[in-house]
């Protein structure tokens, strides 16, 4: 999966569009938002097999257990890199009070789905990262 030529603009447009989007399981959550960003940047939906299969915290947890967890799911799709080597547009993971959360690297912060829109997570909190395609 490679990034399209105008991936920076597409990523910025998605983040801007979701800036005030309310958190919603299956649509604007810790997996769907980064997957939508990858889709915008590459044309490939890494979450295609999971869409429509959950709509609550409980159903998301059951689904993640079935796929071996968020990290294992991503490991099967993308190469893992050390968080300090994550580039803009890569998927990153950090810990929240209720478990692991995914976001999209945007320099030294990551954009993630928060309760009332995009929230920003500093690099120091990232614990895993995955490379999203080659850069055009």
CA distance 17 to 119: 13
pTM confidence score: 0.94
- Give domain 7-130's CATH number out of 1.25.40.80, 3.30.420.40, 3.90.1720.10, 1.10.3720.10: 3.90.1720.10
For residue 136, pLDDT beyond 60: no
- In the three-class reduction of DSSP (H, G, I as helix; E, B as strand; rest coil), residue 119 is classed as strand
Token code pair at residue 75: 């490991």
CA distance 46 to 90: 13
DSSP letter for 29, please: S
Tokens 């968020």 — which residue?
70
Mean pLDDT along residues 60-87: 95
| Strand residue runs (E) in 10-125 | 80-81, 91-96, 99-105, 109-114, 117-122
C-alpha 72: how far from chain center: 14
Residues 21-55 pLDDT 10s: 999 999 999 999 999 999 999 999 999 999 999 99
Q: Where are the domains of the chain?
A: 7-130
For residue 74, pLDDT beyond 90: yes
Evaluate the CA torsion angle 39, 72, 119, 98 in order and state its sign: positive
Residues 98-135 pLDDT 10s: 889 999 999 999 999 999 999 999 999 999 999 998 76
């Amino acid at each position: 999966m490679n990034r399209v030529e105008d991936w920076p603009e597409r990523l910025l447009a998605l983040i801007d569009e979701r800036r005030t989007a309310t958190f919603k399981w299956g649509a604007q959550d810790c997996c769907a938002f980064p997957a939508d960003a990858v889709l915008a940047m590459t044309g490939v939906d890494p979450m295609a097999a999971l869409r429509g299969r959950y709509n609550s915290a409980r159903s998301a947890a059951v689904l993640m257990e079935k796929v071996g967890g968020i990290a294992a799911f991503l490991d099967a799709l993308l190469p893992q890199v050390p968080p300090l080597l994550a580039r803009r547009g890569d998927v990153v993971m950090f810990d929240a009070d209720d478990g692991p959360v995914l976001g999209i690297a945007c320099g030294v912060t990551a954009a993630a789905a928060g309760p009332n829109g995009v929230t920003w997570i500093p690099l120091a909190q990232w614990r895993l990262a995955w490379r999203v395609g080659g850069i055009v």
